[in-house]
A and B are shown apart, each in its own frame.
Chain A
Amino acid sequence: QLQLQESGSGLVKPSQTLSLTCAVSGGSISSGGYSWSWIRQPPGKGLEWIGYIYHSGSTYYNPSLKSRVTISVDRSKNQFSLKLSSVTAADTAVYYCARAHVGDHAFDIWGQGTMVTVSS
């Protein structure tokens, strides 16, 4: 059973860069056929898709965040990562990683989520 686990800094200062990693276990990120996404949810609010990466390394970012987002994959460690630069309080959220089949892009597996607070 494939599982996803987010990790990273829970507290980031304004203007700095948020960095998170999603470890994939029970399966290989290099197997193909899937996209690997980051999704966030501000406290008490809805879900916002940030972007995804394929095992090949190709990416697509939400235009609303594109100028600040980088998603990368490390096949040797079976993980993918998110970097969000120039953060503000508006970036405070629970950040989820999730997998979707490339055929339908329905998110069938999610990580448990990690809370990131932007504060000085």
Chain B
Amino acid sequence: EIVLTQSPDFQSVTPKEKVTITCRASQSIGSSLHWYQQKPDQSPKLLIKYASQSFSGVPSRFSGSGSGTDFTLTINSLEAEDAATYYCHQSSSLPLTFGPGTKVDIK
């Protein structure tokens, strides 16, 4: 099973600040890494697929990069509505697995 780790666990950020979340895989997964946003009491929403492909309708301030074992989700100019927990997910091999999540709070 591929284990995903995320850092940081929690980040408190002021609006308009840049946020960087990293996801590391226990073995190489190519670009089979996806990012989701989950707000309280809501289901997760797909933001980025295949490491860097923005999903339809996602604001351009969200971007992803990386390949192999190290990946990054960047939120440029954070907005108040971006307060949420962000999860990475790998689909390189079964079972599908998720990272533990990074909670982003607005100061």
Q: Give residues in A with beta carbon < 8 Å to B.
A: 37, 46-49, 52, 60, 62-64, 96, 100, 104-108, 110-113
Residue numbers in B under 8 Å from A47 (CB-CB) = 44, 87, 89, 98, 101
Given contacts A46-B98, A47-B98, A62-B95, is CB(A104)–CB(B43) below 8 Å? no
Q: Give residues in B with beta carbon < 8 Å to A.
A: 1, 32, 34, 36, 43-46, 49-50, 55, 87, 89, 91, 94-101
Asked if A46 and B94 make an inter-chain contact with CB atoms under 8 angstroms apart, the answer reads: no
Query: Taking the nearest CB of chain B, how far is it from the CB of A64, in angstroms?
Result: 8
Query: Is the contact region of chain B dominated by helix, strand, or loop, or is it mixed?
Result: loop
Q: Which residue of B lies closest to A51 (CB)?
A: B95
Asked if A105 and B101 make an inter-chain contact with CB atoms under 8 angstroms apart, the answer reads: no
Indicate which residue in B32, B46, B98, B101 contacts A108 across the interface (CB closer than 8 Å). B46
Asked if A107 and B95 make an inter-chain contact with CB atoms under 8 angstroms apart, the answer reads: no
Q: Which residue of B lies closest to A105 (CB)?
A: B91
**Could you give 25 example pairs across A and B, Cβ below 8 Å?**
A46-B100, A46-B101, A47-B87, A47-B98, A52-B96, A64-B95, A96-B43, A100-B91, A104-B32, A104-B34, A104-B49, A104-B91, A105-B32, A105-B91, A106-B46, A106-B50, A107-B36, A107-B44, A107-B46, A108-B49, A110-B43, A110-B44, A110-B45, A111-B43, A113-B43
